[in-house]
Amino acid sequence: MVRHLIRSFFVTAAVIGSASAQVGDSKTVGEPLAALIVDGQNNHGWQQTTPLLRAILLNSGRFTVDVVTSPKRGEDIGAFAPKFGSYDVVVSNYNGQLWPKKTREAFAGYIRGGGGFVSVHAADNAFPNWADYNRMIGVGGWGRRDEKSGPYVRWRDGAVVRDTHAGRGGSHGRRHEFVLEARTPQHPILRGLPTRWKHTADELYDRLRGPAENLTVLATAYSDPKTGGSGEHEPLLMAISFGKGRVFHTALGHDTTAMKCIGFQSTLLRGSEWAATGRVTIPAADGFPSADAVSSRDPLKDVWTHIFDGKTLSGWTQKNGTATYRVEDGVIVGTTADGSPNSFLCSDRNYADFELEFEVMVDNRLNSGMQIRSASNPEFKNGRVHGPQVEIEASPGEAGHIYSEGTGRGWISPAKHRNDPARRKAFQNGKWNRYRVLADGARIQTWINDVAVGDVTDPKSKRVGFLGLQVHGIGRGAGPWQVRWRRIRIRELTR
């Protein structure tokens, strides 16, 4: 927006100081984690389940996701060589042919060197004779696994028992709903979750066996002989360390029904984040099941896209002024330029109806904003960026309200909203602020840090256009001031 800039004279140095302390957390905070799902061969329906795994990871807002699909069984797998080292975590939905030696060595080296790995359900059936792989997953099943593979891992009388009796490795009874019991509830993956929850109908793997080195049993379920089980409390969620790497092993997830369990999704996410970083910031999901009732959600009905990759400005183009934009530790940093008019870093794509989320931190004396449904064309004021802008500025102020940038209309948000004291202080100065924007038809709603701020129905604005990150123009001799954005993601509304 265009109006007075100099409104508050707080100590700018202190604000900048706190900004750099927070972005110093680097990848573990600002930048999405890069996940790679491996599939292509599995005695399970990987064509159906990989899209769910991908959506679960994407919907969290914490991950970007690539999928690498191996050649089909029987085809030449000799050139299959995913670039594991480009990712923070590899999620396996693969149970098939042995990978080539070079690829196996690259994978083991990647995990040993600190990479993250998540083994999902039948991925623990894979590679019975690959020693390093069996150390990574701790225990596995089928593939002629037996006592030579290692012990069974049992939970008896409150402790892990390594049972070396002879016998097959890997079995399961009839598919049914069963209760997971946390056995290491203070582990980051489980901390804060219910200690007992009912899992959606799934195979309850039993009698898994393997080296079981450096293995923590996170959760077990009782495998009831009445449903064809072992009569033991079977480990179904496990954490394993391998060199400097971390492995989360979930034996759950036979099919899409099992993966729609919110307990599966929540533990998969937290396990993937832990495998990638050693820490868990993803909160327990809403609707997490209780011990008495299952709870499901279809992740494909709610797909988010990161429109800032955390590393480059690919997909964005600067328009109008000469402020600078650069990427630093997963954050887009916009810096004012002496005497420049308003600058905008605009998405190359247009969006119509959507939900948008991002986090922003701004120097107290700088005005900024997020353009939505905006345009720039030679016929209108020589390319002037114009359209609705969600205001970004220090409190107490008009952050979150909607201004018609570049059109001369001024504020779209009514004065009674803009003067509401509760809304005027939703924005927290010197901190990261979480914005949510819902643009659905003519109605635009905004939230800052979960406080409802903007709510307009505006038939005059365009219904489609680009997003734009504003660095407001400043007068000569003022600034330089900065604004920072991170975790920018969008979910298009389709109907």
> Which of 223/461 has CB closer to Zn ion?
223
CB of 96 to Zn ion, least distance (A): 14
> Which of 205/316 has CB closer to Zn ion?
205
> Which of 228/396 has CB closer to Zn ion?
228
| Of 6-14, 199-207, 405-413, 437-445: span binding Zn ion (CB under 5 A) | 199-207
CB of 297 to Zn ion, least distance (A): 21
CB of 217 to Zn ion, least distance (A): 20
In the list 183, 233, 254, 401, the residue contacting Zn ion (rule: CB under 5 A) is 254
CB of 265 to Zn ion, least distance (A): 17
CB of 203 to Zn ion, least distance (A): 5
| Of 202-210, 389-397, 398-406, 415-423: span binding Zn ion (CB under 5 A) | 202-210
Q: What secondary structure, in 3-state letters, does the chain show? A: CCCCCCCCCCCHHHHHHHHHHHHCCHHHCCCCEEEEEEECCCCCCHHHHHHHHHHHHHHCCCEEEEEEECCCCCCCCCCCCCCHHHCCEEEECCCCCCCCHHHHHHHHHHHHCCCEEEEEHHHHHCCCCCHHHHHHHCCECCCCCCHHHCCEEEEECCEEEEECCCCCCCEECCCEEEEEEECCCCCCCCCCCCCEEEEEEECCEECCECCCCCEEEEEEEECCHHHCCCCCEEEEEEEEEECCEEEEEECCCCCHHHHCEHHHHHHHHHHHHHHHHCCCCCCCCCCCCCCCCCCECCHHHCCCEECCCCCCCCCEEEEECCCEEEEECCEEEEECCCCCCCEEEEECCCECCEEEEEEEEECCCCCEEEEEEEECCCCCHHHCCEEEEEEECCCCCCCCCEEEECCCCEECCCHHHHCCHHHHCCCCCCCCEEEEEEEECCEEEEEECCEEEEEEECCCCCCCEEEEEEECCCCCCCCCCEEEEEEEEEEECCC
Residue nearest to Zn ion (CB): 254
| Of 107-115, 227-235, 249-257, 443-451: span binding Zn ion (CB under 5 A) | 249-257
Q: Is 203 in the site for Zn ion (CB under 5 A)?
A: yes
CB of 236 to Zn ion, least distance (A): 12
Binding to Zn ion by CB under 5 A, coded x per residue (else -) over 74-113, reads ----------------------------------------
> Which of 22/257 has CB closer to Zn ion?
257
| Of 33-41, 85-93, 246-254, 472-480: span binding Zn ion (CB under 5 A) | 246-254
Binding to Zn ion by CB under 5 A, coded x per residue (else -) over 157-196, reads ----------------------------------------
Interacting residues toward Zn ion by CB under 5 A: 203, 254
